[in-house]
């Protein structure tokens, strides 16, 4: 009984909140309908705003993936330097030299795959952002650079 009492109180307190949530959707729909009557372009303006926000988010995500690809490429350069050292000075590492070389080669492959995947993701998000930009700002002077060529990727362009 003691455990049920606080639960019952919480449920009683949440009932008005749930009812308000049900009515908020109706109010939003009514407000949109009123705005459509007052300004027939309101929906287009709102849609354009949200598409511009989506474009910015896709550009931000593309930048993130470009940065990650850059970090992977830097790590590849570092690992290749280590690999050259292990190959040149294998006598310093004894029996472990071949293990170190194989492990480093595997890491290089792993980071190369990660860099390619990140570049593909960046290209994909840049492509989506460009589509939004062309849709919402057709008169702006955007340079149409082949995303595939700039990233060295095989992402199909639409």
Domain spans, the chain: 1-38, 48-151
Provide the H-helix boundaries in the chain: 4-38, 42-88, 96-136, 147-151
pLDDT in tens, the chain (158 residues): 555 566 556 656 656 655 555 555 566 666 666 655 666 677 787 888 888 888 999 999 999 999 999 999 999 999 999 999 999 999 999 989 999 999 999 999 999 999 999 999 999 999 999 998 888 877 765 445 444 445 554 444 43
Predicted TM-score of the model (pTM): 0.61
109 with 137: CB under 8 angstroms? no
Name 119's Cβ contacts closer than 8 Å, sequence gap at least 6: 65, 66, 69, 151, 152, 153
């Amino acid at each position: 009984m003691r455990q049920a009492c606080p639960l019952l109180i919480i449920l009683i307190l949440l009932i008005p909140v749930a009812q308000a949530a049900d009515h908020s959707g109706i109010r939003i729909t009514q407000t949109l309908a009123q705005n459509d009557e007052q300004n027939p372009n309101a929906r287009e303006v709102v849609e354009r705003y949200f598409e511009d926000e989506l474009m910015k988010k896709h550009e931000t995500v593309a930048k993130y993936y470009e940065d990650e690809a850059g970090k992977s490429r830097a790590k590849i350069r570092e690992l290749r330097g280590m690999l050259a050292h292990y190959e040149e000075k294998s006598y310093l590492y004894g029996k472990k030299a071949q293990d170190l070389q194989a492990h480093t080669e595997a890491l290089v492959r792993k980071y190369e795959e990660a860099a390619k995947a990140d570049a593909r993701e960046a290209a994909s998000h840049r492509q989506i952002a460009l589509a939004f930009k062309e849709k919402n700002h057709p008169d702006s002077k955007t340079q149409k650079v082949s995303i595939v060529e700039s990233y060295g990727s095989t992402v199909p362009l639409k």
